[in-house]
Amino acid sequence: MAVSVVRSRSHNGFQQDPHTDTVDCTGADALLVVVGSASGVPSGVTYNGVSMTELWNSGDSGVAACACYMLLAPTTGSNTVSVDFTGLTDSAILSIVLSGVEQSSIGASHRTVSSGAGGGSGQPTRTATTVSGDFVFAAVTNNAATVNTGQTLIVRAQNVFGNGFSVGAESDTATGVSTVMTFSAAAGGTFWYEGAVAIVAAAGGSVPTIDTWLGRQEIPPRAKTAVVASGMIGIKA
């Protein structure tokens, strides 16, 4: 089974605390919420009243932030995402609804998180620890009117309320033990707050059958039961 994006959306909030949005999680088994802000660090996120797990929170109060939260088995249908801050701030919420994610626990649903900050107007990178085939997710907040993704764009909010900060999210498919995720901005950007993480797919495949074990297309008509003994499989008429 592979992880895939069911739907995504962005929502901007002007001087809000909390900042709320309505997100449809129909057909999903996981929800990622990215919070980008101009001057405040988020203190928590809920979906339909259920607390989400923080994957990273990279930022400085009074400067900017990029945080990411995750929830497994979100309530189906359209429900409220609520982001708390420590005061009023301009912010953007990016909600990414996923399917095919490992459900046993939050810890098992993702690999090691990489997050941090970078300055200058270059192209920031964030390297995620991965296994080949992983769905790799990354997000960034920067102080530019645009944000461009180096991999597959999922959703973004540009020049939020004309304040010159933008938030973007992207994905890639891992081909090895690490995956470099990149972002850029057409007009530069003097700070970047970002994070990246590999999302683990739920185990797939079917349960082996007698046909599979015997290498046959079908069981002969007279075969009624399978007897498994001493590591051998026999067919009893």
pLDDT over 90 (residue 113): yes
DSSP assignment of 177-214, as one string?
SEEEEEEE-TT--SEEEEEEEEEPBPP--PPP-HHHHH
User: Which residue segment(s) compose the domain that 226 sits in?
Assistant: 209-237
Whole-number percent of the chain with pLDDT over 70: 81
Asked if 219 and 113 sit in the same domain, the reply is: no
The CB density around residue 61, as the number of other CB atoms within 10 Å, is: 14
Please report whether residue 49 resides in a domain. Answer: yes
Confidence of residue 234 (pLDDT cuts 50, 70, 90): very low
* Contact in structure between 97 and 24 (CB atoms under 8 Å): yes
Query: Is 98 a residue whose pLDDT tops 60?
Result: yes
Tally of domains in the chain: 2
d(CA 25, CA 63): 32
127 and 231 share one domain: no
∠ CA 223-228-229, nearest 5°, is 135
pLDDT class of 168 with cuts at 50, 70, 90: very high
Give the confidence band of 72 by pLDDT, cuts at 50, 70, 90: very high
Average predicted confidence (pLDDT) for the chain: 85
Residue 144's pLDDT band, with cuts at 50, 70 and 90, is: confident
Better-predicted residue by pLDDT, 43 or 184: 43
Residue 204 domain-assigned? no
The answer to whether residues 187 and 223 belong to one domain is no
Does 101 fall in a domain?
yes
Phi-psi region of 62 (alpha: psi -120 to 50; beta: other; left: phi over 0): left
pLDDT at 121: 62
Does 165 or 31 have the greater pLDDT score?
31
223, pLDDT greater than 70: no
Do 236 and 227 form a contact (C-beta atoms < 8 A)?
yes
- Residue 188's pLDDT is 61
Quote the pTM value.
Answer: 0.84
Amino acid letter for position 36: G
| Pairwise CA distance, residues 141 & 34, whole Å | 10
Pair 62, 173 in one domain: yes
